Amino acid sequence: MPNAQIAGPLTHECLMLKYTGGRDRPSREEIARLAYCFYEKRGGRDGHALDDWLSAERELMRHYQ
């Protein structure tokens, strides 16, 4: 991923692509990557996968609008 496409920190170490590629929705890969960032930020504690996924999806949908 070229550095020019990185918008900056979304939540500390997590990054979000600035360019959406003309799509109106984030890809499953983008959601999974951000959800994993949330998991890591929480210290890798299990049991919140659905919450992480939904939070990532909401955050990215705002970015795509």
E strands, 1-65, are 6-11, 14-17
Q: Helix or strand or coil: residue 1? A: coil
Q: What is the predicted pLDDT for the residue at 9?
A: 41
Is the model's pTM score more than 0.75? Answer: no
| Tens of pLDDT, residues 6-65 | 334 444 456 565 666 667 888 999 999 999 999 999 899 999 999 999 999 999 998 888
How many domains in the chain?
A: 1
Helices (H), the chain: 28-41, 49-64
Q: What is the predicted pLDDT for the residue at 57?
A: 94
**Domain limits for position 30:** 3-64
Model confidence at 2: pLDDT above 60 = no
Q: What is the predicted pLDDT for the residue at 18?
A: 61
For helices 28-41 and 49-64, give the axis angle rounded to 10 degrees: 120
Q: What is the predicted pLDDT for the residue at 6?
A: 36
